[in-house]
A = this chain, B = another copy of it.
Amino acid sequence: MTDLATGAAILGTGGGGDPYRGRLVAEQAIKSHGPVRVIQPEELDDDGLVVPLWNIGAPVIGMERIEKGDEGVRALRALEAFLGQKAVAIAPVEVGGSNSTMPVRAAALTGLPLVDCDGMGRAYPEVQMITPTLFDIPATPATLVDAAGNCIVLQTTSNLQTERIARAVCVQMGGRAAMAGYPMTGRQIREAMIPGTLSLALKIGRSLREARARHDDPIQAILDVTGGFRLFSGKIVDVYRRIAQGWARGHFDVQGADETVRVDFQNEFLIAQTLSGRLLCSVPDLIMSVDSQTGEPVTTESLHYGFRVTLLGIPCNGRWRTPGGIALGGPGYFGYEQAYQPVETLIWEGE
């Protein structure tokens, strides 16, 4: 579970919440309710109902406002009741900190299998930013529940509208809520989700742990598994973070030997560029900050002055590099003028 949480935090590009808390939560659930059966997408029946589960809101709020524990299950049950159909499996929507481990808890509590896949191959801040949107799969009916017992069912005209309404509800729920949505058949899961990403997160976490045990370079171990690149190393010299409209927004600056690199975030890291304007990496490719010594992920809410971090750039899943994928999750959506360029290209140009 430590490996999953660590690996998911690296793929989580800063968002998805604290991996340590997420791990404790999932471990406790498994201890109390027994192990979780992880299945591959091809094991699903064509027509069975699979329900993705996730937390919405600023992860930093989750540090102080602890969930009750059964929010994910209540969101699932409310969606099943609305659909009049029982789920045969649960799926994560993103690999990223607590959004990888939250479905593990729900699977432990319900006894449902967890599908080894996600809808991003990374983490993204907004509800519509998921590969099923590229396949015209609606986010709704979807449900939101909070710790207090409020429950909302949404049926919207677009996945962007789902994001807008769910975000507004989430803010009223205290900035953090559990969601069930994107109900899919097994066939749709195979078509629209990215397979094997839970396994990948586990593998990243395991490689990192084993490299440290062997006293090998832990960062190189991450790069070997993910096909990523070292973008920059230095010391965090500025962190500007605020909670706005339900998100953690801001930037942090990493000062190196000759240059300073700024990373902007909206829960997740969006773009890394030097203060002189040279682009190092942008969404949809993954930007991650890890402790330069240990390789441990440093997520948005744990950024602090003085941390020595290495920024990594990891190529995203190919679905995000299509014109539709770039429109949905590229720099333009977040208001940046820079055109998307694959991180490999930027690395070659920089060398």
Q: Which of B155, B156, B167, B172 contacts A164 (CB 8 A)?
A: B172
Q: How many copies does the complex hold?
A: 2
Within 8 Å of chain B (Cβ to Cβ): is A188? Answer: no
CB under 8 Å from chain B, chain A span 289-347:
none
- Most B CB contacts (10 A, CB to CB) among A82, A150, A151 go to A150
* Bound CA–CA A155/B75 (angstroms): 12
Within 8 Å of chain B (Cβ to Cβ): is A173? Answer: yes
Contact of A161 with B150 in the complex, beta carbons under 8 Å: yes
Interface of A is mostly: mixed
Interface string of A170-200 (1 = CB under 8 A from B): 0111000000000000000000000000000
* Bound CA–CA A150/B159 (angstroms): 11
Interface string of A121-152 (1 = CB under 8 A from B): 00000000000000000000000000011111
Contact of B151 with A155 in the complex, beta carbons under 8 Å: yes
Contact of A156 with B165 in the complex, beta carbons under 8 Å: no
* Bound CA–CA A167/B168 (angstroms): 9
* Bound CA–CA A172/B156 (angstroms): 11
Within 8 Å of chain B (Cβ to Cβ): is A153? Answer: yes
Residues of A that sit less than 8 Å from B by CB: 82, 148-157, 161, 164-165, 167-169, 171-173
